[in-house]
A = this chain, B = another copy of it.
Amino acid sequence: MENFVFQNTTKIIFGKGTEKSAGAEIKKYSNKALLHYGGQSIKKYGLYERVIKSLADTGIEFIELSGVAPNPVLSMVEEGIELCRKNNIGFILAVGGGSVIDSAKAIAIGVPYEKGDVWDFFMGKAKAEAAVSIGVILTITAAGSESSVVSVILNEKTQMKKGYHSSLMLPKFAILNPELTYTLPAFQTACGSADIMSHIFERYFTQSKNTDLTDRLCEGALKTVVENTPIVLANPENYDARAELMWASTLAHNGLLGTGRIEDWGSHKIAHELGAVYGITHGAAISVTFPAWMKYVYKQNIGRFKQFAFRVWGVDPCFGDDESIALEGIKKLGDFFKEIGLPTSLKELKIGDDKFEEMALKELQWGPIGNFMKLQKEDIVNILKLAM
């Protein structure tokens, strides 16, 4: 087990009707908030009214910035920073999924950074030293951004999608009401599950030795997602299955499952490239990229992939030799993605091989990616070919 420091201070407020507590939670930090959200869906089902009422009941003034789209963009972050500065905003409430939360996080660190552009942080040119406090009402079970220290933003001008890490961006609270995810379309629900699983994979597939406890926690979370996703797809208003996915999505990315382990994050970077260049939904990029990455790297540690096959997918230990068992586990993951309606090849997304080298080079600006296996240009191109 590796040495580590773990601290996650986000207050999780979980369950039915919990969005009512938003105003009281914000009040601890400020009387003036930016209400940040995506499209009209939060208005369609009454959530918007409930949030507004909670703010009004606690005397919190607010202004709005809506229109965040998947793969949240720098231009809207910059707009949010200006709005917050002009209106003396002391709190940002993100109502939505990972894109809205990531956008809110970037705004939060951008507001007090007057000597440069917020993109500096994402390009490694500056380090955030202060942030506006943020809180979350989660409506999409996927990104885990509600209690993570990461924000991923797309710079539309350069077509670069980059992440930045800072504990300053950790939300003060995250309101998780599974009912708010009832209206998510099936495809988006499935993409969310792929995203949750990918956050666990990035921690699970490690070369760190002696990681018994976190292995088992990862496996338990994966099995929970595998068992509950089909239930939710068959019955979108199954509260308990929605609740399992929601809590799993948060725990998958709050740092706990990576304690004592060197994490990977190679596949995520490749998936982010697919998002940046082709605008495909992150979860779909994940379902295409991960099985390909696994097929490419499993020989680096067959024992780990055997364990994955056995403990997560229930592959019979007598199925064959270690390599066959490992490959069967990877196959089962691909089968699962297909079963829940996700693409598992670039062809299905109508993406050809013409930009593979370009994408690889863009990801390699800061050196090889990934830790389970360090990926160079040739490796990334090969993985993308396996994903065809």
Chain A residues near B (Cβ < 8 Å): 1-18, 209-210, 212-214, 216-217, 219-221, 223-224, 227-228, 239-241, 243-244, 247-248, 251, 256, 259-260
Contact of A243 (CB < 8 Å), options: B1, B17, B217: B1
Interface pair A14/B259, CB less than 8 Å apart: yes
Task: State the number of copies, please.
Answer: 2
Interface pair A4/B10, CB less than 8 Å apart: no
Interface pair A240/B5, CB less than 8 Å apart: no
Interface pair A7/B10, CB less than 8 Å apart: yes
Contact of A3 (CB < 8 Å), options: B1, B14, B224, B240: B14
Interface pair A4/B11, CB less than 8 Å apart: no
Interface pair A213/B15, CB less than 8 Å apart: no
- A33 → chain B closest CB, angstroms: 21
Given A1-B15, A216-B224, A251-B256, output 9 extra A-B contacts at Cβ < 8 Å: A3-B18, A6-B14, A9-B9, A210-B240, A210-B243, A213-B220, A217-B220, A243-B260, A247-B260
Q: In the complex, what distance in Å separates the CA atom of A221 from the CA atom of B210?
A: 14
Interface pair B15/A251, CB less than 8 Å apart: no
Interface pair A227/B212, CB less than 8 Å apart: yes
In the complex formed, the residue of B with least CB distance to A243 is B1
A219-B220, A223-B216 known; A240 and B14 CB under 8 Å? no
Taking CB atoms, residues of chain B closer than 8 Å to A219 are 216, 220
- A208 → chain B closest CB, angstroms: 10
Interface pair B3/A210, CB less than 8 Å apart: no
Interface pair B260/A14, CB less than 8 Å apart: yes
In the complex formed, the residue of B with least CB distance to A240 is B210
Most buried by B among A11, A212, A228, A256: A212
Taking CB atoms, residues of chain B closer than 8 Å to A18 are 3
Taking CB atoms, residues of chain B closer than 8 Å to A15 are 1-4
In the complex formed, the residue of B with least CB distance to A210 is B240
Interface pair A216/B221, CB less than 8 Å apart: yes
Contact of A7 (CB < 8 Å), options: B9, B214, B239, B243: B9
